[in-house]
């Protein structure tokens, strides 16, 4: 959840053509602030000492502190932006944490599960703790090993050896970065169940929670494996396991540039990312089929015979990704005739689920680091299931640990509330469902080709919705005083309704709920009173088994009880006009693909309402982009 950055430029004694560590780290933290913004801090090594500043609140507070009390120029530094877990968001609990009489600085992402017993042990040795964090315990342990076990001697392995020994004692999920005044040109880092990537420069090297932390300086990156330690200097990158055995990372090229992580002229990242959605869907579709409409998912390196024998699919995800999974369920069951369940990752492995070698686990995670989902995937693999990941972040942990991956190509998503990643996830899930149908012969090739043709029309249709966004924005601004908004949908409209409610909760901090419209008479209709806003996602009146008439009846039911009805309907649907105060039309499209369009007005509405209330739509309170602890 926290954002971390590390940097080493040209070492002492060489011509200084590197960057000031403070500048590099602050720019990295600015790009990573979406991972947490309860506090921020930085430490640099200069003149044989550690100099550090940290401040609660957003990064701007730290920058003001640095303006008032500058740090010395340095070629080695680490920085952190925090999403609080252990200890509240205070100056004292902010990272870095110092140890070894101020000569060691440590930053951390994750949770040290055995911190209490380690803290007791260190307290008995005379260590005094100044914060409530588990991170300070890790720093004190590292210092104790470095000074008392290794004698503070770099000939004994120095900070790298101390990190190896410390990690052998730590339990939980963590990424740790450390610098020491005795080794001014070194940053040492470790990862277990938490993200960390290396950036390779020319006479300088970098560390980050993800590549956004150093994308301004290099696009060469190295992904680290589980339980690995990396030591970087200006010219070297050395990787070992926790026991000192040499290890290797996997180098890859970052295929997006710094401009992709900027706002592009929009007032917020979220608004930019809503407008990125036509391209996000298009890029996810590109290169996935041949001229005959036959799917060629080269990333799915799983024996086709195993996929043919799948008897059950379980989709694992959390939050918005879980709603993408709910949409996927409708499509996969229709196209493949395979029973499909959608499970919240954090509930899955605690209920003794029935999983075997004929079960296909499909995990969905934008970051690829969602801890609940990662642990659920690991559990499923232990039970013998095959695992496929749908992910937006190349080289992240969940894809690496899955049997296969289907990457979305939405580009970096900076706003905490997901938009373009959600549509890209649904698109990827459709491709997976069609691929399984192709392998298993559930659909003729011509049928698959026709569905792909409809999918390829979606980006232009999303753009049509965006071109007419002003009327949705106007409604959102006019409803800034709303205390509660309800959302109704049926079939694939049901997860869309839940996603619409989630966006409003995340951004505007008001009560919002999404219901299956058929549940109205089973209780929720009691919530309807005069003036209650109700969004209704209306299915197409075309096609077999249309639920259109039933949902129109639901609109009438809530309107008769005083509800303010707001309808998302397909172009040409005149039947809804008589019962709706507001109608927003989306282009015609097959029912199963409709969520790629009907979601967009709900995103725009939530954005406009929250902006009208004066809230930060990119960094909602109490939330972080990637949930990397259970």
Condensed to tens digits (0 to 9), the pLDDT of residues 417-470 reads 999 999 999 999 999 999 999 999 999 999 999 999 999 999 999 999 999 999
Say what percent of the chain tops pLDDT 70: 97
The mean per-residue pLDDT over the stretch 584-591 comes to 95
d(CA 73, CA 82): 24
Among 629, 620, 617, which Cα is nearest to 269's? 617
Q: What is the DSSP string of 479-534?
A: TTT-SEEEEEE-TTHHHHHHHHHHHHHHHH-SEEEEEEGGGGGGTGGGG--TT-EE
Q: What domains lie within the chain, and their CATH numbers?
A: 3-254 (3.60.20.10), 261-465 (3.40.50.10490), 468-623 (3.40.50.10490)
pLDDT digits (tens, 9 = 90+) for 344-367: 999 998 988 999 999 999 999 999
The mean per-residue pLDDT over the stretch 476-498 comes to 97
Across 123-137, 479-493, 544-558, least confident range:
544-558
CB within 8 Å of 494: residues ≥ 6 apart: 326, 514, 515, 516, 517
Count of Cβ atoms closer than 10 Å to residue 381 Cβ: 16
pLDDT digits (tens, 9 = 90+) for 504-529: 999 999 999 999 999 988 998 999 99
The conformation of residue 420, written as its DSSP 8-state character, comes to H
45 in Cβ contact with 74 (< 8 Å) = yes
**pLDDT in the model for residue 498:** 98
The conformation of residue 537, written as its DSSP 8-state character, comes to E
**pLDDT in the model for residue 543:** 64
Query: What token pair was written down for 93?
Result: 């609990």
Given 161, 420, 443, 625, which residue is catalytic? Answer: 625
104 in Cβ contact with 98 (< 8 Å) = yes
Residue 311 DSSP SS3: coil
d(CA 568, CA 578): 14
Q: Are strands 97-99 and 39-46 parallel, antiparallel or unpaired?
A: unpaired
Verify whether residue 449 is a known catalytic residue.
no
Cis amide leading into 181 (omega within 30): no
Sign of dihedral through CA atoms 285, 291, 295, 296? negative
Q: Are strands 220-223 and 197-200 parallel, antiparallel or unpaired?
A: antiparallel
**pLDDT in the model for residue 18:** 66
**pLDDT in the model for residue 44:** 97
**pLDDT in the model for residue 544:** 59
Verify whether residue 125 is a known catalytic residue.
no
pLDDT at 393 over 90: no
Residue carrying structure tokens 């493949």: 336
Given 2, 167, 336, 391, which residue is catalytic? Answer: 2
Mean pLDDT, the chain, whole residue set: 92
**pLDDT in the model for residue 1:** 66
pLDDT digits (tens, 9 = 90+) for 312-331: 999 999 999 999 999 999 99
């Amino acid at each position: 959840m926290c954002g971390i950055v590390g940097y080493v430029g040209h070492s002492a004694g060489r011509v200084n053509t590197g960057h000031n560590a403070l500048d590099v780290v602050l720019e990295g933290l600015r790009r990573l602030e979406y991972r947490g913004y309860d506090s921020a801090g930085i430490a640099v090594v200069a003149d044989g000492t550690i100099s550090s500043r940290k401040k609660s609140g957003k990064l701007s507070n730290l920058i003001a502190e640095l303006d008032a009390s500058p740090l010395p120029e340095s070629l080695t530094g680490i920085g952190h932006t925090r999403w609080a877990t252990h200890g509240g968001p205070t100056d004292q609990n902010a990272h870095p944490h110092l140890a070894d009489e101020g000569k060691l600085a440590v930053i951390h992402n994750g949770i040290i599960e055995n911190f209490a017993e380690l803290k007791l042990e260190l307290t008995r040795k005379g260590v005094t703790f100044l914060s409530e964090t588990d991170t300070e315990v890790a720093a004190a342990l590292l210092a104790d090993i470095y000074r008392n076990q290794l004698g503070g001697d770099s000939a004994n392995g120095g900070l790298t050896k101390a990190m190896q020994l410390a990690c052998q004692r730590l339990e939980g999920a963590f990424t740790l970065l450390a610098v020491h005044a005795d080794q001014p040109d070194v940053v040492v880092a470790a990862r277990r169940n938490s993200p960390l990537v290396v950036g390779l420069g020319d006479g300088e090297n970098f560390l980050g929670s993800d590549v956004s932390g150093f994308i301004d300086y290099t696009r060469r990156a190295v992904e680290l494996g589980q339980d690995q330690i990396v030591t970087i200097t200006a010219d070297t990158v050395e990787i070992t396991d926790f026991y000192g055995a040499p290890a290797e990372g996997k180098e890859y090229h970052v295929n997006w540039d710094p401009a992709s992580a900027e706002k592009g002229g929009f007032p917020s990242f979220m608004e930019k990312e809503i407008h990125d959605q036509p391209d996000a869907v298009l890029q996810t579709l590109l290169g996935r089929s041949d001229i005959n409409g036959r799917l060629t998912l080269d990333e799915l390196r799983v024996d086709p015979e195993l996929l043919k024998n799948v008897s059950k699919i379980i989709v694992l995800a959390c939050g918005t990704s879980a709603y993408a999974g709910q949409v996927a369920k409708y499509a996969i069951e229709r196209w493949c005739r395979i029973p499909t369940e959608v499970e919240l990752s954090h509930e899955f492995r605690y209920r003794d689920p029935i999983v075997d070698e004929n079960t296909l686990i499909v995990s969905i995670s934008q970051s690829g680091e969602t801890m609940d989902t990662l642990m659920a995937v690991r559990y499923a693999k232990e039970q013998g299931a095959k695992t496929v990941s749908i992910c937006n972040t190349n080289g992240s942990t969940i894809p690496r640990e899955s049997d296969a991956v289907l990457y979305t190509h939405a580009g970096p998503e900076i706003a905490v509330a997901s938009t373009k990643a959600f549509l890209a996830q649904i698109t990827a899930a459709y491709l997976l469902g069609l691929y399984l149908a192709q392998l298993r012969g559930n659909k003729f090739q011509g049928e698959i080709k026709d569905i792909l043709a409809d999918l390829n029309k979606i980006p232009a249709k999303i753009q049509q919705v965006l071109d007419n966004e002003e009327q949705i924005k106007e409604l959102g601004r006019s409803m800034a005083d709303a205390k509660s908004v309800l959302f109704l949908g049926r079939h694939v409209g049901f997860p869309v309704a839940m996603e619409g409610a989630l966006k409003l909760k995340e951004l505007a901090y008001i009560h919002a709920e999404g219901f299956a419209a058929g549940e109205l008479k089973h209780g929720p209709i009691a919530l309807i009173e005069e003036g209650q806003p109700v969004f209704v996602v209306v299915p197409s009146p075309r096609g077999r088994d249309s639920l259109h008439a039933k949902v129109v009846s639901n609109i009438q039911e809530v309107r008769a009880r005083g509800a303010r009805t707001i309808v998302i309907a397909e172009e040409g649907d005149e039947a809804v006009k008589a019962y709706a105060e507001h109608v927003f039309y989306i282009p015609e499209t097959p029912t199963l693909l409709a969520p790629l369009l009907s979601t967009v007005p709900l995103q725009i509405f939530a954005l406009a309402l929250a902006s009208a209330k004066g809230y930060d739509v990119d960094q909602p309170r109490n939330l972080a982009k990637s949930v990397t602890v259970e």
